[in-house]
Amino acid sequence: MLSLGFYLTITPGVLGGFVDYYILRPLLGQKRYTIDDFVIGSKLGEGGFGVVYKATGAEDGNAYVLKRCKDYGEAEIWTNSRLMRACPDAIASYCGAFYGPKEGKSSPKSGSIWKKAKDAVIGNADDDEDDPLWLVWKYEGSETLARLMDDKDFPYNVEPFLFKNSGGVAIEVEPRGVRRKAEIIRVIFAQITANLAAAHGTGIILRDVKPENMIFDPNAGRFKLIDLGAAADLRFGFNYQPKEFILDPRFSGPEEYIMSTQTPEAPPTPVALALSPILWQLNVPDRFDSYSAGVTLLQMCLPSLRPDNNLIQFRRTLEENGESLTDWRNKLPSRMGKKGGPDAEGFEVLDLDDRAGWELVKSLMSKTRERRSSATSARWSRFVQGRNPVVSVLDSLFGASPDEEDASGGLLAWLVFRVARSGTNREGGFTEAQLSQFVEDGEIGKTEDASKYLGYVASETLAKYGVDRLARTVGPERAEKSIGKKRAEASVDADDAPTREPGFNPFRALNDGLQKLRGKK
Ligand X SMILES: Nc1ncnc2c1ncn2[C@@H]1O[C@H](COP(=O)(O)OP(=O)(O)O)[C@@H](O)[C@H]1O
- Binding site partner of 44, from Mg ion, ligand X, none, Cβ cut-off 5-8 A by kind: ligand X
- Binding site partner of 92, from Mg ion, ligand X, none, Cβ cut-off 5-8 A by kind: ligand X
Q: How far is the CB of 380 from ligand X (least distance, A)?
A: 29
Strand-pairing partners, residue 57, are 38
* Catalytic choice (20, 208, 227, 512): 208
**In the β-sheet with 133-138, what is the strand arrangement from edge to edge?**
38-47, 50-57, 63-69, 133-138, 94-99
Which of 45, 410 has the CB closer to Mg ion? 45
Q: How far is the CB of 143 from ligand X (least distance, A)?
A: 8
Q: How far is the CB of 43 from ligand X (least distance, A)?
A: 9
Whether the link from the prior residue into 333 is cis, omega within 30° of 0, is no
Q: Which of 169, 167, 171, 215 is nearest to 191 (CA)?
A: 215
Q: Distance between CA 428 and CA 374 in Å, rounded?
A: 11
Which of 33, 251 has the CB closer to Mg ion? 251
C-beta nearest to ligand X: residue = 47
Could you say which residues in the range 180-219 bind Mg ion, by CB under 5 A? 213
- Binding site partner of 139, from ligand X, Mg ion, none, Cβ cut-off 5-8 A by kind: ligand X
- Binding site partner of 341, from ligand X, Mg ion, none, Cβ cut-off 5-8 A by kind: none
Q: Distance between CA 241 and CA 198 in Å, rounded?
A: 23
Q: Distance between CA 401 and CA 409 in Å, rounded?
A: 9
Q: How far is the CB of 166 from ligand X (least distance, A)?
A: 26
Residue 60 annotated in active site: no
Count how many residues are written for the chain: 521
Distances (CA, A) of 120 to 21, 99, 113, 221: 10, 14, 10, 41
The three-class DSSP label of residue 332 is coil
Which of 31, 335 has the CB closer to ligand X? 31
Which of 142, 263 has the CB closer to Mg ion? 142
Secondary structure (H, E, C), 451-479 = HHHHHHHHHHHHHHCCCCCCCCCCCHHHH
| Cβ-proximal residues to 125 (8 Å cutoff; 6+ apart), any chain | none
Q: How far is the CB of 48 from ligand X (least distance, A)?
A: 6
- Binding site partner of 285, from ligand X, Mg ion, none, Cβ cut-off 5-8 A by kind: none
- Binding site partner of 275, from ligand X, Mg ion, none, Cβ cut-off 5-8 A by kind: none
Chain residues binding ligand X by CB under 6 A are 44-47, 49, 52, 65, 92, 137, 139-141, 144, 212-213, 215, 226-227
Q: How far is the CB of 54 from Mg ion (least distance, A)?
A: 15
Cβ distance 460 to 434 under 8 Å? yes
Which of 79, 436 has the CB closer to Mg ion? 79
Chosen residue from 217, 227, 323, 343 binding Mg ion by CB under 5 A: 227
Q: Distance between CA 279 and CA 100 in Å, rounded?
A: 34
Active site residues: 208
Interface residues with Mg ion (CB under 5 A) are 213, 227
